[in-house]
Amino acid sequence: MRQIVQLNDYELEVETVEVKEKGGKHLLTMTFPVTHHDYHDVTTLLYENDFHVKVPEEDISFSATIAAYSTSITNLYEKDAVGKFYLQLLEK
């Protein structure tokens, strides 16, 4: 089941999401698909590295920065390309 995670009011439809506590702070781990069409918007957002995170279904909201990030594909400029992004955010 897909779930919505908001980063600075940008909605991501995530495939997996997990929230844990690490040193008394939230650690959110998620995977989500990124299409050729959304690539620029998503990567521009991630370069900000300063997020207000909301997980509405779990009633969680916090400020965070990137703890880890990776992608399954590096060339999403090709039409119809889809990559899977892995993102870990740690509460500030």
CA distance 86 to 70: 5
Domain annotation for the chain: domains and CATH numbers:
3-91 (2.40.30.80)
79 and 36 in contact (C-beta within 8 Å)? yes
For 30-80, the pLDDT digits (tens) are 999 999 999 999 999 999 999 999 999 999 999 999 999 999 987 787 888
pTM as predicted = 0.91
CA distance 5 to 1: 13
- For residue 82, what pLDDT is reported? 93
Please report, to the nearest 10 degrees, the dihedral formed by the alpha carbons of residues 11, 12, 16, 18 taken in order.
-50
83 and 22 in contact (C-beta within 8 Å)? no
- For residue 77, what pLDDT is reported? 77
